[in-house]
Structure 1
Amino acid sequence: MTDPENQAHHPDADLNRQALDFHAQPRPGKIGTLITKPAVTQHDLSLAYTPGVAEPVRRIHAEPDLAYSYTNKGNLVAVITDGSAVLGLGNVGALAGKPVMEGKAVLFKRFADIDCFDIEVDAESPQAFIETVVRIAPTFGGINLEDIAAPHCFEIEQALIERLDIPVFHDDQHGTAIIIAAGLLNALELQGKTLAESRLVVLGAGAAGIAGVHLLLALGAQPDNILCVDRLGIIHTGREDLSPYKRGVAVATDKRTLAEAMVGADVFIGVSGPDLVTPEMIAAMAPRPVVFALSNPVPEIRPDVALAVRDDLVMATGRSDYPNQINNVLGFPFIFRGALDVRASRINQAMQIAAVEALRALAREPVPGDVLDAYGLKELHFGSDYIIPKPFDPRLRERVPVAVARAAIDSGVARLSSDH
């Protein structure tokens, strides 16, 4: 049992209490519903419900796409989990994952004005989860999968993409991959390197790691230049314990350990766990390296430790209290906004790459004063401490959805033109 006296002196005790109060008061939870039409008179109610509601029902029955005209489907996303990989807390179950899903809904609404229902599915198997989502999908314009453990997350997402005609997006896979790629391309440019020529080490072969590798390959990374590392070491072609998803990132190499992989590496990307990278590993990297230590809340190596070893590196973490936060909120609200705006049937790789390029380009532009004020900064310029936009930059809402929508149209998955 936890000692209450010791717990009271824990450095996070005050924050934990504030968080509990925040979630409980003045009413439990973080989201609700909003009536968008008048409901003041009897006539209002006769239009909102019976008998008036019968007419849109008849129209949608005859032409299903009219659901986008007469219901909230076109601006409604489901945030769905099975609770098997919640934040850094692991398999806490569907119900315990609900605060996180509500939080995700807050971010969708705050940053892209997208309405969300959070849905927690107590499923005994991936197939049961898939069937549940398929059956409720008519309600929504898009599906955001969240906090689902690998390798089931890959199977679930692919099956839903194949069976549904609305965007299905596992943010822990592709959202993370998109922000990593945008930041990495800018960091490599600052270091005078190219993705095609760089040697990369990816520590962590779960949802984010494997999706990140696939996106970087699509952007020009060379397969033989990427070493992925899991708990058992380097994922190489001689291993017989690999899932199909890990087998897809395996390479032929004599190297076996993370330390061996780091020798001469240009890039380290960590999506794994705390304090797994030593100062010696950083010292062994190539000149002008890029280090993305994204484990949260404790990175694979802390910036002060890494920078004490190397003063020629560009570093990013997943934390907001260090420069260059790799934060998924830079991506998923705006990616869905663009997809919904043109009624895309899916979020394909072309749309993901468009988001990468839009984010990458925005970081190079002068930063508006209101963004500086929001972060208490006097100045901010493209450079080693600013390789990716800040989440409260209002230009994200202007740039990323437009780029994603255009890519959806150009790649043939949009049902509407962008000027509809």
Structure 2
Amino acid sequence: MSTEKQTFSDEEALHLHQYPQPGKIGLLPTKPMATQRDLALAYSPGVAVPVLRIAENPEAAYDYTSKGNMVAVISNGTAILGLGNLGALASKPVMEGKSVLFKRFGDIDSFDIEVNTQDPDEFITVVKNITASFGGINLEDIKSPECFIIESALQDLADIPVFHDDQHGTAIIAAAGLINALEITGKRIEDVKLVLCGAGAAGLSSLSLVKALGVKHENTTVVDIHGVVYEGRTIDMDQWKSVHATKTNKRTLAEALVGADIFLGLSAKGVLTSEMVATMAAKPIIFAMANPDPEITPEDVAKVRSDAIVATGRSDYPNQVNNVLGFPYIFRGALDVRARRVNHEMKLAAARALAMLAREDVPDEVAAAYQGRHLKFGRDYIIPSPFDPRLIWYIPPFVAQAAMDTGVARKPIDDMDAYRKRLEQRLDPSAGFLQTIYTAVRARPAKRIVFAEGEDISVIRAAHAFKLQGLGTPILCGRENLIEANMRAAGIDPAEEGIEIINARLSHRNAAYSQLLYSRLQREGYLKRDVDRLINQDRNSFAAAMVISGHADGMVTGVTRMFDQALDDVLRVVDPAPGGRIMGLSIVLARGKTIFVADTTVAELPSPEELGDIAIEAAMAVRSMGHTPRVAFMSYSTFGNPKGERSDRVKEAVRLLEQRGVDFEFEGEMPPDVALDPSLWTNYPFQRLTAPANVLIMPAIHSASISTKMIEALGGATVVGPLLLGLSKPVQICQLSDSVSKILTMATFAAYDIRASAKI
């Protein structure tokens, strides 16, 4: 059911869904429950007050309950994407996943409801009777034609938005892409000839929407499994297909495509051939959106047409038609005006807004994810990236405005500019931060990353994921028999291609590595036999020797030994970068902010000069990841008050950095609240930051390490790293007993190579 090649094993998918607790969604209270008084206010007797208000005025439910930001994802499992009719309960993992996407992209609370019936009337009755609890209903994975009947009935019966995403989500994104494709090719929408291949819910909805944009009915042809849908056809016809039937003598897809400008495909892999594409009009527009594999690949199109614009449902090709670009933002706009429904005008507004966004300059944090491929409006960029942080504040205002203009909004928005600002603050604009790093690594030539602790089962899982996700070639260092046994225990076939295993003790390169290391350490108290022992028995030394010899591009370690010990192992072999400072940079991803913290691993009590070096190294790394560094030097003191020896050291660091002519903003000394909250700056009109700091330079390793680990332990934020900076070769050291996902992230940063990325 994926829209791209599977990048994980079945065991990994099951593990994610089962641990640390089953499922993907939970519930967190939004009000405190710490005291008896809290309980009395939130429940009995305090709850009686809003109950009576809602009884008097049902609209008050939006003010006193979660209804206004709650969407139910509802299915009966009759058309689970790519899997078919497997029943209501089997669809639950999909519906939970959809709820997660609502929260992740639209900051909309959501939970799933599986209705165990295949009777449309019974399904309609159940959903109708629970609509009072929600601000909107997202119907999902319901087979055609029942989905049309169900959605239409519920739209009439319910007083909240009811939206079947399988129909309309794809239609909206495809319409956005079509608007831009027509702009690029210079074709007028009223003149183009369009062929739709696939007459299911998504196909027919897409056709209806592009007709609303201006495509003429007589210029369209629908093709299904039986051929062209023409007027008078009786085979497998219904009222939803019949409305799109046209007068034509054409009976096959190949005949229909001759001279056609547009192919909209929502059918099956391989349906469209290169020979058919060759017969299309000049500058053909091909949207091959079959799932999981397109009707034709961009490569096959390119064999016969250099003038085509191609979109697919796959993230590994340009122009991905991805529903996540639509439903979170359509519901966001609809909920924010308390819309009674999602109408045609709101869907068109979303499509036009997406098309407009694709034409704007791509922000740094998105561009950083596609190094090696320029993101600029054109043939290969007609649809925005799903991880564009502007989507949350760009799309919903257009949807909300359309709802207001068409009279379905209960609560119109008076100040649209203020609304956009509120939307910007709803979601963490860095939520796609890690995805941008992963995408950048995939876009570059494949790297060979050696996993020094290759016998550990978590490391093996991470290496396998690294390979499956197209991030590079993993090299597992260790004894073959133990690695292969643990691979089998993890459900991975040791014979699987793309994963290398190397035994340090038996490598034919040991003599060369030993000589290389001896030349470095012979005046550091090491005998030749000591170095031989290191290469043969210490996998960190062996892996680092592979990297400096060019037999691997980077390494990851640290899962089975303490950070300081692993760092010492690496430093015996790998030099610091010229002018670089060896240090740790932790990344705190919290709602609304991405904060970089340094030095979290190496310098115990840095001098003022060293604090300046740390700031320069951190700013370089931050800039390489697509962010503009704004550095604040941390202290308990705020610009000299109170005074103290430790704060004076930080103050001196700022003074010395002023003399170094750096090319980034910096300020200090100050505590975190002043650095991060501009409302506190009124007392300090002389301070130089133009926006909240995003790089915090800590006065000592104690405060740096304690603060980041406390943030992670308390929850509410994700901490990545610490990343190791300042080495001449890309090496990352995990924390002891890190999870598979954290090991994978560190391996990905090794492949990303922060220092090399800073030069791109």
Structure 1 and Structure 2 fold alike (TM over 0.5) = yes
Aligned match for 1:119, one of 113, 122, 133: 113
Cα distance in structure 2, aligned partners of 1:192 and 1:15:
45
Alignment partner, residue 76 of structure 1? 70
| Letter matched to residue 411 of structure 2 | L
SS of aligned partner of 2:127: helix
CA contact (8 A) 1:374 1:392 kept: no
Report % sequence identity: 58
The RMSD of aligned alpha carbons is 1.3
Cα distance in structure 2, aligned partners of 1:378 and 1:174:
30
Alignment partner, residue 205 of structure 1? 199
Q: Deviations over 1:220-241 (max 9, x none)?
A: 0000111011110011112123
Give the deviation of 1:194 after TM superposition: 1.8
Aligned match for 1:38, one of 8, 29, 32: 32
Aligned match for 2:355, one of 346, 357, 360: 360
| Letter matched to residue 157 of structure 2 | R
Unaligned 5+ segments in structure 1 are 1-10
Instruction: Show the 5 A alignment for 1:133-148.
Output: 133-148=127-142
Moved more, 312-321 or 87-96: 87-96
Alignment partner, residue 57 of structure 2? 63
Alignment partner, residue 187 of structure 1? 181
1:106–1:376 Cα change, 3 Å: farther
Alignment partner, residue 228 of structure 1? 222
Moved more, 188-197 or 340-349: 188-197
Alignment partner, residue 291 of structure 1? 286
Instruction: Show the 5 A alignment for 1:95-114.
Output: 95-114=89-108
> Are positions 1:247 and 2:242 aligned together?
yes
SS of aligned partner of 1:268: strand
1:411–1:245 Cα change, 3 Å: same
| Letter matched to residue 174 of structure 1 | H
CA contact (8 A) 2:197 2:266 kept: yes
Give the deviation of 1:409 after TM superposition: 0.5
Cα distance in structure 1, aligned partners of 2:301 and 2:20:
43
> Are positions 1:260 and 2:272 aligned together?
no
Give the deviation of 1:12 after TM superposition: 4.8
Give the deviation of 1:376 after TM superposition: 4.4
Q: Deviations over 1:180-237 (max 9, x none)?
A: 0000110121112122111111011111111111111111000011101111001111
| Letter matched to residue 397 of structure 2 | V
Q: Deviations over 1:110-163 (max 9, x none)?
A: 111000011111113111110010011110000001111111111100000000
1:179–1:50 Cα change, 3 Å: same
> Are positions 1:329 and 2:324 aligned together?
yes
Aligned match for 2:388, one of 389, 393, 410: 393
1:314–1:182 Cα change, 3 Å: same
CA contact (8 A) 2:135 2:335 kept: yes
Unaligned 5+ segments in structure 2 are 416-760
Instruction: Show the 5 A alignment for 1:127-166.
Output: 127-166=121-160
Q: Deviations over 1:340-375 (max 9, x none)?
A: 000010111111111111101000000000012234
Q: Which runs of 4+ in 1 moved over 3 A?
A: 11-15, 374-379
Give the deviation of 1:66 after TM superposition: 0.5
Cα distance in structure 1, aligned partners of 2:288 and 2:102:
26
Alignment partner, residue 3 of structure 1? none
Give the deviation of 1:275 after TM superposition: 1.0
Cα distance in structure 2, aligned partners of 1:83 and 1:214:
25
Cα distance in structure 2, aligned partners of 1:218 and 1:381:
28
Moved more, 18-27 or 346-355: 18-27
Aligned match for 1:344, one of 336, 339, 346: 339
Q: How many residues align?
A: 410
Give the deviation of 1:61 after TM superposition: 0.8
1:13–1:390 Cα change, 3 Å: closer
User: RCO higher in 1 or 2 (8 Å CA, sep ≥ 6)?
Assistant: 1
SS of aligned partner of 2:73: strand
SS of aligned partner of 1:26: coil
Alignment partner, residue 173 of structure 1? 167
Alignment partner, residue 212 of structure 2? 218
CA contact (8 A) 2:75 2:142 kept: yes
Give the deviation of 1:16 after TM superposition: 2.7
Decide which structure has the larger Cα Rg and report it.
Answer: 2
Alignment partner, residue 405 of structure 2? 410
Cα distance in structure 1, aligned partners of 2:396 and 2:257:
37
